[in-house]
Amino acid sequence: MSTLTAPAQPTRPASYARPAGAGFFAHTGYLTLRHLRAAVRIPAFLVMNVVQPLIWLLLFGQLFQSVVEIPGFAGGSSYLEFLTPGIVMMMALFGSAWAGTSYIEDMDRGVMDRLLTSPTNRGALMTATLVYQAILTVVQTLIVLGVAWLCGARFDGGLGGILIMMLAAMLLTASFSALSNAAALLARNQTVLIGLSQLITIPLMFLSSALMDTSLSADWVADAAAWNPFEWAVVAGREALQANPDWASVWSNLGMLAAFTVVLTWIATRAFRAYQRSA
């Protein structure tokens, strides 16, 4: 009696082997699209994120336009031009501080547990939120720059200066998005995340030169600003928009901001692993 044997399964040629990073990049793209679609479904949130900084830009730009006449003010001859990079960074800071809310919503709805039991790349779960926030930062920055230009602001740094300012804004976004994600994964509570966001963002904003040249503030404010990551982004962006930037200052501030981003991303990764172990 002959024995029936199963036909041999065709083997996939080595040339069709999947690249090691294909899953990570594909999943990051899918998850980023998921966040973008959710944002499109609730446009009011995006509008409020843009409208509030624009109010600050237009209101403060008019209220304090005479600040440039104060002796010792080192911000140039136009307060609007001085203020615009600060507003861009404020928008990036406030938006990224809320990044962890998407994690809390996913945890509350059980979506996070389903993602963790699926083949979804774990690194993509973290990276997608950072990419999504960076995209929002770029769009919102272009809107703020457009409004500032319509109001008379001119930036001698040109396209190169604008790109460097965007880089600073995206690094700021990535760092505080990672911090917000870590807080969300550890606290797992929306109220706690809101409280932490307010506790961190408001002092960072006022202990910087976003709204006022620190040379006109108390000495301790200038000392605190030197260690403020938000100030690093503001200084790098503002300096890059000048006609003759101090490139040493630009690159040193960007370097410190990049190192800060790496540290917070590492913390967020550890928080994500802690959540996985306890889920």
User: Where along the chain do its domains lie?
Assistant: 26-278
Four-point Cα dihedral 61, 67, 69, 72, nearest 10: -130
**How much is the pLDDT for 225?**
93
CB 210 within 8 A of CB 86: yes
Q: How far is CA 45 from the centre of its chain?
A: 16
Lookup: tokens for 154 = 């001119």
Cα–Cα distance, 213 to 131 (Å, whole number): 32
**How much is the pLDDT for 279?**
63
- 3-state class (DSSP) for residue 136: helix
**How much is the pLDDT for 234?**
97
pTM: 0.86
Block residue for tokens 């998005």? 177
Q: Which residues of 43-58 are buried (b: 16+ CB within 10 A; e: fewer)?
A: eeeeeebbeebbebbb
CB 138 within 8 A of CB 196: no
**How much is the pLDDT for 51?**
82
- Average confidence (pLDDT) per 10 residues, the chain, 279 residues: 46 42 80 86 75 84 85 84 94 89 88 84 86 90 92 91 95 94 90 88 93 89 94 96 94 97 93 83
158: left (phi over 0), alpha (psi -120 to 50) or beta: left
Of 78, 83, 77, nearest in space to 60 by CA: 83
**How much is the pLDDT for 174?**
93
Q: Which residues contact 1 (CB under 8 A, 6 or more apart)?
A: none
**How much is the pLDDT for 88?**
94
Provide the residue type at 69 as one letter: E
CB 53 within 8 A of CB 126: no
